[in-house]
Amino acid sequence: MTGKTHPTTVADSIKVKGPASYFPSIEKTYGQPIAHWLTLLQGLEGKKHMEMVAWLKGEHQFGHGHANALVAYFINEKSR
């Protein structure tokens, strides 16, 4: 036996990648579900990516990485 563990379910074997990988940490750190933050970002439509990032950092004390990930996800979803 190699000591490696294997996923017990299909969901366990799927690793979230990209901006969404930050979501659990964002929810824990800032105390609101991702849907809350995406709704707030809708009010900033038309702003540039970095303007939205700066807003999250200034108004809600987001760290740069969390703000950037959330805005990247928001913009990507709007373009679908």
Q: Does 46 score more than 90 pLDDT?
A: yes
**65 or 8, which is more confident:** 65
| Count of CB atoms situated within 10 Å of the CB of 33 | 12
pLDDT reported for residue 24? 97
Q: Does 43 score more than 80 pLDDT?
A: yes
In total, the chain counts a number of residues equal to 80
Q: Give me the mean pLDDT over the 5-12 stretch.
A: 56
Q: Which two tokens stand for residue 59?
A: 């108004």
For the chain, the average pLDDT equals 89
Nearest to 56 by CA among 47, 48, 46, 66: 66
18-28 per-position pLDDT tens digit: 999 999 999 99
Domain ranges (residues) in the chain: 17-78
The number of helices, as runs of H, and strands, as runs of E, in the chain is 5, 0
pLDDT reported for residue 15? 82
